[in-house]
Amino acid sequence: LFGRNWQSRIQLTQLCADIKAVRSDVLICVDHEGGRVQRFRNDGFTHLPPMRALGELWMQDSKSVRGAFHTGSGALAAMDAATASGYVLASELRACGVDFSFTPVLDLDFGRSGVIGDRAFSRDPQITFALAKSLNEGLRLAGMANCGKHFPGHGWAEADSHVAIPVDERSLQKILDDDAKPYEWLDLSLSAVMPAHVIYPQVDKNPAGFSKIWLHSILRQELGFEGVIFSDDLSMEGASVAGSVVKGADMALEAGCDAVLICNRSDLADQLLSQLVVSKVKQAESATRLNRLMPTAAAPAWNELQGEAQYQHAKGLLKQLKLIA
């Protein structure tokens, strides 16, 4: 879902119900991170902070002593705020019938990528890991899975993959030692991963989302990831190296993706649905993974949610920390 699908909270809830009435096993998803990437912001929805605000909160009272990094009360407050943000985010979406959000962003903030920018928690992979794990716990408490993106890292490449093909010239070891660390450390708490439409020429000529090296050899085998792999939007410029949306989908699925996304071109979605051929074995394997992302329990309706003590506590904490209005 996107902002174009939004008119009001009641309309959104009815839309989700109508979709489920046609096909109950469809996973209804949205990019809803907080900050500038949040599709629903009014009619009762809490406008959540950008993730950089949590990273900045972490740094309050933190200091380096003789080369060792010591955290202060800001780190504890930031982790609490991340959990509260995840809970508010997921519980509000689920009250309207949305199953899943593509969050958290695990890219590191090198100060180079405008498209990532304040969507990232921090430059530090340890802070990024700790805050993402806390946010994931908030999502889980509200009955929602998570998706780390954009593997192995979009923070260094300067170009915006929506309109260009970003390139990251660093070595494999440098990326694994830095950008990919949050994925390694999150381990079993990571439900899904979305690879970047970024080319890392020291590793593969293909963008990560089309690369068996990145998705199979590194993510699946080396890091032991067993969750869902989503492609990023195949209608983005960063996916244009494939030549066509059908070829891009073939390459993504062959590389290891379980699901491919087309977000902004309904004509290309129709083309893909009519031409894509996927083996029954691949379908069954990916369906098993995707089914694990479906909420396993019913969510309270919106009016019930407003009176829920845990929801009120989470919003109160974010207000106290001046992270929401």
Task: Give the active site residues.
Answer: 162, 232
Token pair of 178, please?
Answer: 């830095």
H or E segment at 126?
Answer: helix 125-141
Backbone phi, then psi, for 164, in 5-degree steps? -150, 175
Provide the 10 A C-beta neighbour count for residue 258: 22
Torsion of CA 228, 145, 116, 217, to 10 degrees: -20
Contact 81, 89 (CB under 8 A): no
- Rounded Cα distance between 23 and 8, Å, is 23
CA–chain centroid gap for 143, Å, is: 16
Q: Tell me the DSSP string of 50-89.
A: PHHHHHHHHHTT-EEETTEEE--HHHHHHHHHHHHHHHHH
Strands 63-65 and 68-70 turn out to be: antiparallel
Token readout for 69 is 């990094």
